[in-house]
Amino acid sequence: MSAKQYDYLCVGAGLYGAVVAHELNKAGKKVLVIEKREHIAGNAYTGNIDGINVHRYGAHIFHTNNEKVWEFVCGFADFNSFVNSPKANFKGEIYSLPFNMNTFKEMWGVNTPEEAKAIIDEQRKKALSEMASKRGVSLEEFVPDNLEEQAISLVGTDIYEKLVKGYTEKQWGRECKDLPAFIIKRLPVRFTFDNNYFNARFQGIPIGGYTRMVEKILEGVEVRLKTDFFDRRDVYKGIADKIIYTGPIDEYFDFRLGHLEYRTLRFETEKLEIPDFQHNAVVNFTDSETPYTRIIEHKWFEFGKDFDGKDIPATVISREYSKEWKNGDEPYYPVNDEKNNELYQRYLELAEREENVYFGGRLGEYRYYDMDQVIEAALGRAESLFKE
Ligand SMILES: Cc1cc2nc3c(=O)[nH]c(=O)nc-3n(C[C@H](O)[C@H](O)[C@H](O)COP(=O)(O)OP(=O)(O)OC[C@H]3O[C@@H](n4cnc5c(N)ncnc54)[C@H](O)[C@@H]3O)c2cc1C
């Protein structure tokens, strides 16, 4: 019998912390979850503005091929049949994403894969020979050495100019010519009329929002909000036998080896007194002049196909801006380049020496996780804890 107040302390009420806490609680363990924000659900959090669930930390679309994870989430929410079909807006011209026959029809008026492939191939060949001759090498010897060359060699000039260039430059804050080629290994091109962004067996949005789903996952678990582990680290370290830590791994070690880097975003959210702004949940702005990368219109995540938006006379939109990360900003995407991965490995060595503390989730493991992956990892963590 443990002398400590709790068997487990979960630091962070995001999906990872919530799922581990749920499993432990279900197994009869005494669990406390502390969360430094004023809300649960981490970055999947949805806040309600006048009947519309707003994805405060960016568009979150649940998609998975993992049947076990799908069954798990369906135990806590009913999912609607939302399919992510973003649009691109290039200087007012609207194109379908991901690149597929609908995009090619909109761009060139073609109806068959053969016509589309012929245009892409012709553009690629022409651009590649120009780039090779500029560099003074033969076509066979030419290897793309920046992102612009790489993207053109994959999809030709029109798609690159209208749908890749401006968007990527805004995302990275640098010209494609100055970005390394490896950032774009593949640019998936579909030769079918299919606007479904994800290749996933299961996809949807929890009706009522993610926050409600996580509330249900955490039912019966003690949760303390606005409680930062680092404010009273000694107290929290002594409160439970084991700690599941889902905050940034470098912060846990007081950044003693240096800071891990992230890419961050900034959102400007606005309520508009009109029923419908852009007729779609996600629109990417792919020109370089528009300062934001995307606009999300939140109501379209949760309303059905026949819904014209008029039942709710207002709408809420968020403009998404890319922003260079500096210490103190919200960490969104880990920069898994060589330098940061090496630093992470060194933190991982420290973490492995830390007794009874388990690091998990996107910040604890310094890796990009989709929601289904983070749930799978959390279920795996709980299972391995039971075996100890
Ligand atoms: C812009 C964006 C869009 C995304 N879109 C999708 C999508 O469409 N589909 C998809 O599947 N996934 C998407 N994701 C990924 C998804 O957000 C993550 O998979 C998920 O949020 C990870 O959960 P987590 O628990 O690991 O981390 P988080 O959600 O970050 O939770 C960690 C929690 O720990 C808390 N915490 C940190 N430090 C402390 C501390 N010292 N004390 C107390 N609490 C602390 C934090 O406040 C946070 O709430 C997206 C991510 C981003 C950034």
Q: Is 383 a catalytic residue?
A: no
Q: At residue 69, does pLDDT exceed 60?
A: yes
Distance 377 CA to ligand 1 centre (A): 13
228 Cα distance to chain centroid = 24
Residues 6+ apart with CB under 8 A from 249: 260, 344, 347, 348, 351, 359, 363, 364, 365, 366
Residue from 64, 97, 246, 365 whose mutation best tests the ligand 1 pocket (most atoms within 8 A of CB): 246
Instruction: Say yes or no: CB of residue 265 within 6 Å of ligand 1.
Output: yes
Yes or no: is domain 6-84+201-261+334-387 CATH 3.40.50.720? yes
Secondary structure of residue 275 in the 3-state scheme: coil
Confidence at residue 6, expressed as pLDDT on a 0 to 100 scale: 98
Please tell me the distance from the alpha carbon of residue 64 to that of residue 362, in angstroms, as a whole number. Answer: 17
**Domain spans of the chain, in order of start:** 6-84+201-261+334-387, 100-183
Residue 336 pLDDT: 80
Kind of pairing between the strands at 333-334 and 262-272? antiparallel
Mean pLDDT of 374-379: 98
Ligand 1 pocket residue status of 297, Cβ below 6 Å:
no
Say if residues 275 and 309 touch (Cβ distance below 8 Å).
Answer: yes
**Shortest-distance Cα residue to atom 46 of ligand 1:** 12
Q: Say whether pLDDT at 1 is over 80.
A: no
Task: Respond yes or no: is residue 294 known to be catalytic.
Answer: yes
The arithmetic mean of pLDDT across residues 364-384, rounded, is 97
Model confidence pLDDT, tens digit, residues 79-125: 999 999 999 999 999 999 999 999 999 999 999 999 999 999 999 99
59 lines ligand 1 (CB under 6 A): yes
CA 101 vs CA 136, 190, 245: distances in Å: 36, 7, 45
Q: Is the CB of 148 under 6 A from ligand 1?
A: no
Instruction: Please enumerate in sequence order all residues whose Cβ is within 8 A of that of 28, keeping only pairs 6 or more positions apart, or say none.
Output: none
**62 backbone dihedrals φ, ψ, rounded to 5°:** -80, 130
CA atoms within 13 A on the CB side of 228: 6
Segment 272-304, tens digit of pLDDT: 999 999 999 999 999 999 999 999 999 999 986
Using an 8 Å Cβ cutoff, are 373 and 73 in contact? no
Alpha-carbon gap, residue 69 to 23, rounded angstroms: 13
The model carries a pTM of: 0.94
In this structure, what token pair is assigned to residue 357? 């503390």
**Is the Cβ atom of 204 under 6 angstroms away from ligand 1?**
no
